[in-house]
Amino acid sequence: MFCKNCGQQIDDQAVICPHCGVATGNMQMQNRVQAQGNGMAIAGFVCSFFMPILGWVFGGIGLSRASKRNGKGKGFSIAALTIATVNFILGLALL
Ligand SMILES: [Zn+2]
């Protein structure tokens, strides 16, 4: 692709133009993707307290996304899966 600031050809994966140092659109895209991974992990974390099944689903998705995105949201995902499992066992015990 070409830098939108200086017009020089740069790598498609480049986050910053090596010629002028201006950020390319790639940075925003990566941030958005990482936020999605975090969102799933946090959704799973919240749901795990009330709905263990949803906690597992969101936690599992969050964990698989976290592994592709520098581990972002991994802690929340593992917490979600752990809490969901504990709540599920407690729920069974109460029945
Ligand atoms: Zn440039």
Q: What is the tally of structural domains in the chain?
A: 1
What DSSP line would sit under 15-46, residue for residue? SB-TTT--B-THHHHHHHHHHHHHHHHHHHHH
What is the Å distance from ligand 1's center to 28 Cα?
16
Predicted confidence at residue 12, as pLDDT, reads 86
Whether residue 87 is contained in a domain is answered as: yes
What is the Å distance from ligand 1's center to 82 Cα?
46
What is the Å distance from ligand 1's center to 34 Cα?
25
What is the Å distance from ligand 1's center to 72 Cα?
29
Whether residue 10 is contained in a domain is answered as: no
What is the Å distance from ligand 1's center to 15 Cα?
11
Q: How do the pLDDT tens digits run along the chain, 95 residues long?
A: 898 899 999 988 888 899 999 888 766 655 555 555 578 888 888 988 889 999 999 999 999 988 887 888 899 899 999 999 999 999 888 87
Predicted confidence at residue 29, as pLDDT, reads 59
What is the Å distance from ligand 1's center to 25 Cα?
12
Rounded Cα distance between 16 and 86, Å, is: 45
Whether residue 3 is contained in a domain is answered as: no
- State which residues form the domain around 69: 34-94
Whether residue 69 is contained in a domain is answered as: yes
Whether residue 61 is contained in a domain is answered as: yes
